[in-house]
Amino acid sequence: MIFKMGGLGRLLFIGAVSTYIVLVWTQSKGIEFKGGAKDPSIFEHPQDPTVYDKEKAKAQGINYANLTCKAKGRPWVKYKWLKNGNEIQISDKYTIAGGYLVIYNPTYPDDEGLYQCIAFNGKGADVSMPGWFALTHVGEFDKTPRPPVTVTEGRGFKLECGAPDGFPALYYGWYKGHVANRIIPNERRYISHKNGDLYFKHAVVDDAGDYRCFVQNQQETDFAGGLENRSSPVITLTVNRDLNPPIRDREPVITLAPEDITAIEGYLSAELECFDDAYPDSNIRWRRLDKPAREGGVEIAFPSKARFNYHSYALSIPLISQADGGIFECTASNRKGSVSHEARIKVKSAPSPKVSKLTKPLVIGGEETLSCEATGSEPLVYSWYFKEDKIVTDNVKYVVSTDKLIVKNMDLEDKGGYRCIVTNQVGAGTAQVTLKAKGLNIIIPISQQNGMVGSTMTVTLRWEGLPVPTMEWIKQGEVIATRWPDGTVEKTSDRYDVTREGYLIIKDLTPEDGGSYSFRIQNELDSRDTAGTIYVAKQSRIVQGRGPTDVKMEQGGTTTIPCEGQIDSLLESVNTWYVDGRKIDFVKESFNYKRGPKGELVIMNANVMMHDGVYTCALATTADEQTATGTVRIKGVSEAPVGVQFENVGSNTATLRFTQANTNGDSCKEYVVEAQTEFDDIFFTDRLWTQVWRGLATSKSLRNGPGGAKLLSLTNLKPNTEYSFRVTCLNTYGMGEPSWPTEKNRTSPGAPPRAPGNLGYGNGMAGDVLMSWEPLKESDWGDETVGYRVRYRRQGTGDRFREVYIDNPEAAAYAHTQPPAPVNVPYECRIAAYNNYSVGPEATWIAYSSSGLPDYPRNLEIIKQTNDSVTMQWEKIPNFNGPIPFWGVRYWREEDRPRAARRNSTREKRAVSFWWDTWLRYIPEEEEKDETGFQYARLYDDGLTKLPGPSDKETYILRGLQPSTLYNFQVRANSHPYFGEYSNITRATTMRTGNPWLIGLKGTWWIPILFWFMVTLLIVLLLIFCCCCCLWCKVRRRRKPKDELFLLAKTNGKARNYEVDVMTDYHKGILKKFRDTIIRYVSPKPVTDHLAESDALPQTIAGQIEQIEDPDSANERLLDILPNRPDFAFDHFCDGVRPEHPWLSDLLEEEEIEMTDDHRSILQSHQEDLAAKVDPHPVINHMTENKYFNPMEEEYFMSISSKEETNNAVIDMLKDRPDPAFYHYLMCLDKQDSDLAAKIGGPDYQQDIKRLQLEMENKALMALPLMMDTRKQRPRMVADGQYDDDDAESWHIDMPMLNNIDDFKMSKTVAVEPAEEKKMSNMVAAEPLEMKIPKIDSVDAVLPPPEIQAAHPFESQSGSTIEVEHGNPIIIEIVGDAKSVRWLYEGVPLPNDELYQQTTEGEDLHSIFISEVTGQNQGCYTCEGTTEYGVVNCDIFIKVREPRTSSIV
């Protein structure tokens, strides 16, 4: 059909198809076509000033500067530039690219000047603010010799620097004699920041010497010729000694006075300097005055940013503002006198223009005044531009009056932007006003709108257009209201009004107001109208008796609040519910609320805190809204009491005042008071609350106070304790919320409230009375400290109590020793705590005098044995009534044969009493010694170890013994703090352990044998089954040998699924091991192409690598990415390397081993002899034939003219080859110099050579029949990799058939593309790779390709590089199914905070927002997640790109 068309028809058809394709393409790229032209508007102006540092740019290889100008508009914006008011022509010097003005090889002062940008298109133009372009430069010193300077010791002087001109400001320095001897400013000398002069307060003899001043600009420009080129001529200083010492004092004289300066607001800093000549050295003090001192100025505060340095010789105010200016006074003083000098800092600011309205309507034939008010330092110069033309007064069209522009007799040609540019001495500012004229258009028509009888209705619509039109509202052909452009409204009734938006307002709406309405807008350019209908409905209302009512309900119950309304039949309504003014969300609050079928509200699970309140039902229609309210009161737990106060505080009493709040329908039955003190557990964030009072609301302790308050008297408080109380009300529904705690208040100090507890006694020397107790806690002291009063007497004697006062709050015992008491006699003891106020309550207990050292147990015997325990029994110790906490047992096995056990004649230990002894003596227990062969145990009266027995004997059981073992036993008593002597030795043998398998199996001995036989048989069967499975898997999933030749079959289209295939640590280690070798030799481009073609590397990443010009950098980048790719990428990398470097591929695949360190050292040690004697060409040919050198390397060697250099290059390259290459080199060397070969290879080198020759012959013989057999095969296809015979039929094979082995070899030929190489002059194509073809049967067979499974999306995205300007934020998004996703930076997990905001949407979109990218956090960011196959990673590299600032470095 297409070819039957005529020429015009075909042309139209082609045009339509082309247009369709372009539209589809632009939409796929996100390009939108927007109708209508738009004036250019500059949004980025040239920076003022723009500074270019030629030396820094040269160091970075940059020979150009650029000035920025960016604008937006339709159609595309074009640019031109002005220099000092003259248009710049495109040339070799200047280029304009996308708004940027590029200046090549800028020079000073030719290229300095005022530059301005003009953006224009077919619609209009815009002018930028001017920007000054400056070049950093430093002139040269005047090399005229400087006159010498002579001074007298003690006098002040200065050395003039005479620095050259420079921009920006210069840094100054001095050195004396040698450049390393820098002059460091101190209290006596100072280097002026203004001109570099070196000032001295007074001279000393050591100051004499040769001085030189050097300079450097603030951009750190490096000067050609080094330091000498930026140093002044030598100034020789001579210091004459004072012939009339000592140096006389003199008052200060200011030699460097502060000068009035004018600073620019917000630009760099303002600095004043002050230095004087004085002896002794003076002190410098600065003041800021509100006016000059001669006019009575007083000191005011310094700016907060003011800084002083160099002993106050300089006052600096960085980034100065208007408020920082003023008068500053420097005063130098010493003991002889003082002197002052004033200077003024005047701050000027750049203009900042503003306009009251950004847009104004264009009125045809009228005039408009455009205002541009600016702030800034006077004088201000105003310039007005329309498009690219500067406006001047002509009194016909334009009148320019400083900050105002009058546009007269306006027409459509006057629409557009009017730019106001304001300049002064320190800068410029700009603002723009736009006169708009836009065609009229109705955006939202009237359609149908509803109103309610008696209400005020606003009929809305939306329109656009300029100039402002006349707006008319028409009802049934009659204009009822008109609004003119000047804002006046004409109307037929006071009920009508028209707003500036064109809305019609109808007051007191009646049914007669319904009907059809029209709206018309009209101006000088156009007119538009729209029509619609107004429907006046009857007023809606909520039916009386069916609206919300007041409800009281029980806590936990359910109730329904109705809300039925009567509305116009043509209106729709919706019920909205509010509680206490808050809208109820029925989705989020479904547990508490639900909406009924008629809009009623159902309250469920009523709770005082959540449901009690005022409920409002809003019945809303499209015309009005009616509301009704009702109150819901929940009977439940009481609210917390309020106004809780702690008053009338005594030592242990206080009054608690509180007022009960709403009890929610049920009065309080009880009150609970809880307290918290300073002594509560400090390890809890919220300290524990302790109940101190609970009683009925009618309790006598609780009385009514004024104002409805409750007064509760609290007793039994602790003295000197800080308390805080809270009160809770308990009613029928439960315990309410506790009140807010009272403020902390401390009770008065008083007597301790209780006596010490845990009273007891202990054993000691015979006749001692050891009384013990538990010390009081600090909360019971009642004062800052506490002591104990102990009273005791012998029971039943009626003697007076002996009293002891112990001034130690931590004391826990007291011992009476003199005179000794009778043994085991009861004593009546009493103890009370006391402090500075009084004595507390007293406690009484009975303590017995000590019985002394316990005797040894008698008649120890073993009465029962088991396989792991024995039961022991012995007589009680006679005449000993002291406490025995436990019995100590010593036992040992007979075969251990320790030294003989014997009674230890333990002497009674007694402490020597001196007059300085304390009231308590402590004698430690004698611990058991871990003697060889002995074992020890303690027998306690704990109900488990002690057994019932005769009353005059002790019976205990000892466990944990070994079965069928002869033991020896001894026992002794422990009476704190002593051990008694051991008893006699008793021997006993534990019983033998019975076989649990044989218990109960008498006569059935064959059952255990049968059981073990079945277990053994089962294990053997399992092993046989596992072996069979392994063999089956090995045959079914056979891995093809690496040296076989296979074609790689690929699927057309996407993989059906994917699996996580991360490179193994083993392969990563190989790449790391040979990293330097790979970088040195591999050509990255062909390898990257091979990886991309094999789907081992995404095309985008491959393209990024190939864009890197330096091969070393490209290889480094590739090796950084490869470890994050799937494991098959390693094999493809080896395949990609093989055509160029087969030996390196063999090393990576470990088919050959790397050269040993011994062989490398041999080549290194004999390299000089080998370089001088060996003919390199036969060696190179041999190595090339055996694939250790490739043709490119061979050509490189041949290009070297010197024999020695060629041999050195061969040996250096040989050290990186596999170890067999050493023997190949030895074989070549043997043919030229056998003596040298024997020296290098050793006495057995001939055997090594013969073995190598034999291996080469065997390889050649094996390859020959293989090649012959494969040439006889019929055409067939072979697939590389794993395969499964069962799936062969399911593959659709569309691979080309090969006719013979030559075609097959040619199909595998890999051409190495030319690339920049290391150590080589050029590149040639590699020879076709000889492939080994496996023998295949003559029958037609097609081996199916493996199921290709794509890498996880994380792996496909890994390795990308993103460049970000310094300081900018960035969002990284990674797509792929993964769980437990986290982000890492350089392997370290990142926190989820404001700097690194990490989000995951579902399981397939993971992102991180980095709020600011700097040089500190650039690098590798890893997105790590888990899948069912393992861990997946995606590495994204972020690089900071230097921002395009105006300062070119």
How far CA 507 is from CA of 13, 457, 532, 621, in Å, comes to 61, 6, 19, 19
Those residues of the chain that have pLDDT short of 50 are 1-6, 8, 24, 26-34, 221-225, 683-685, 899-930, 1037-1060, 1264-1349, 1443-1449
Pairing of strands 131-135, 50-52: parallel
Residue 1057 to residues 539, 1173, 1350, Cα–Cα distance (Å): 64, 63, 7
Number of C-beta neighbours around residue 75 at 10 A: 11
What the block records as the tokens of 1008 is: 């255990």
Between helix 1234-1241 and helix 1220-1232 the angle, nearest 10°, is: 150
pLDDT of residue 762: 78
The reported pLDDT for the residue numbered 957 is 94
For position 898, what pLDDT does the model report? 59
Supply the Cα-derived Rg of the chain in whole angstroms.
52
Coil/strand/helix, residue 1022: helix
Residue 316: half-sphere exposure toward Cβ, Cα within 13 Å = 15
Contacts of residue 794, defined as CB under 8 A and 6 or more positions apart, other chains included, come to 821, 825, 826, 827, 828
Handedness of CA 1142, 1143, 1144, 1147 (dihedral sign): positive
Question: Left (φ > 0), alpha (ψ -120 to 50) or beta: where does 1430 sit?
Answer: left
What are the tens digits of pLDDT across the range 979-990? 888 999 999 999
How much is the pLDDT for 583?
A: 92
Predicted local distance difference test score (pLDDT) of residue 1299: 35
Chain center to CA of 1134: 39
Contacts within 8 Å (CB) and 24+ apart, 83-88: 83/113, 83/114, 83/115, 84/113, 84/114, 85/114, 85/116
Residues 6+ apart with CB under 8 A from 256: 158, 190, 192, 197, 199, 273, 274, 275, 276, 313
pLDDT at 683: 47
Listing DSSP states for 62-95 in one string gives --EEEE--EEEEES--EEEEEETTEEPPPSSSEE
DSSP string, 1227-1249: HHHHHH-HHHHHHHH-TTHHHHH
Q: Which amino acid is at 536?
A: V
Measured distance between the N- and C-terminal CA atoms of the chain, rounded to whole angstroms: 65
Of 107, 82, 104, residue with least CA distance to 93: 104
Tell me the two tokens of residue 841: 């309550």
- Specify which residues 722 forms β-bridges with: 746
| Distances from the Cα of 1321 to the Cα of 556, 1029, 1192, 1236, angstroms | 92, 57, 8, 32
Q: How far is CA 338 from CA 98, 335, 1184, 1406, in A?
A: 63, 8, 91, 71
Phi, psi angles (nearest 5°) of residue 239: -115, 115
Question: Token match 């804002």: residue?
Answer: 487
Cβ distance 1211 to 1168 under 8 Å? no
Closest residue by Cα to residue 276 from 231, 339, 226, 229: 339
Cα gap 932→752, rounded to integer Å: 54
- Residue 508 Cα distances to 112, 454, 473, angstroms: 73, 5, 18
Distance CA 1134, CA 1148 (A): 7
Long-range contacts of range 104-112, CB-CB < 8 Å, 24 or more positions apart? 104/63, 104/64, 105/63, 105/64, 106/52, 106/54, 106/64, 106/65, 106/133, 106/135, 107/135, 108/54, 108/135, 108/137, 109/135, 111/135
According to DSSP, the β-strands at 157-159 and 198-200 are: antiparallel
Contact 411, 364 (CB under 8 A): yes
Q: Which residue has the tokens 């105006």?
A: 1446
Cβ–Cβ under 8 Å, residues 264 and 271: no
